[in-house]
């Protein structure tokens, strides 16, 4: 999709620190990390959010989770948090589905 920053990272058109890639997903470090490990796992195909991905490409949807688990294991984390922000009202700023993987520090609940 034109003008989508994550489509451009997936395509290699702009730099991203890629830590893992599969047939359907790419995982790269967040530019503004909120934890020692903060990786974004995205589908290669463009969807606006998690629900649209699940409806449109269920295999990629599942692969986001297995990729996130693989990255957490690679980085030595048994404990980690996975987040999908859906909608500007809860802080979604990039409208290409992305799963946040956060790990490496204590976290509180409920989230802010």
Catalytic residues: 98
**Neighbouring C-beta atoms of residue 53, cutoff 10 Å:** 23
Tokens linked to 18: 């890629």
In angstroms, how far is CA 83 from the centroid of its own chain?
A: 8
On the 0-12 / 13-18 / 19+ scale of CB atoms within 10 A, 7 is middle
Q: By CB under 6 A, what part of segment 57-86 binds ligand 5GP? A: 85
Contact flag: residue 32 with ligand 5GP (CB under 6 A):
yes
The nearer residue to Zn ion, 77 or 98, going by C-beta atoms, is 98
| Shortest CB 46 distance to ligand 5GP, Å | 14
The nearer residue to ligand 5GP, 22 or 85, going by C-beta atoms, is 85
Q: What is the DSSP letter of 89?
A: G
Write each residue from 33 to 72 as x if it is in contact with Zn ion (CB under 5 A), else as -, in one continuous string.
-------------x--------------------------
């Amino acid at each position: 999709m034109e003008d989508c920053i994550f489509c451009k990272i997936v395509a290699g058109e702009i730099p991203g620190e890629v830590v893992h890639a599969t047939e359907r997903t790419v995982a790269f470090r967040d530019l503004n990390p909120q934890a020692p490990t903060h990786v974004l796992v995205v589908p290669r195909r463009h969807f606006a959010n998690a629900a649209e991905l699940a409806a449109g490409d269920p295999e990629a949807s599942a692969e986001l989770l297995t990729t996130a688990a693989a990255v957490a294991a690679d980085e030595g984390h048994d404990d980690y948090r996975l987040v999908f922000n859906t909608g500007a009202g809860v802080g979604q700023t990039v409208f290409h589905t992305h799963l946040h993987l956060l790990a490496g520090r204590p976290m509180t609940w409920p989230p802010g």
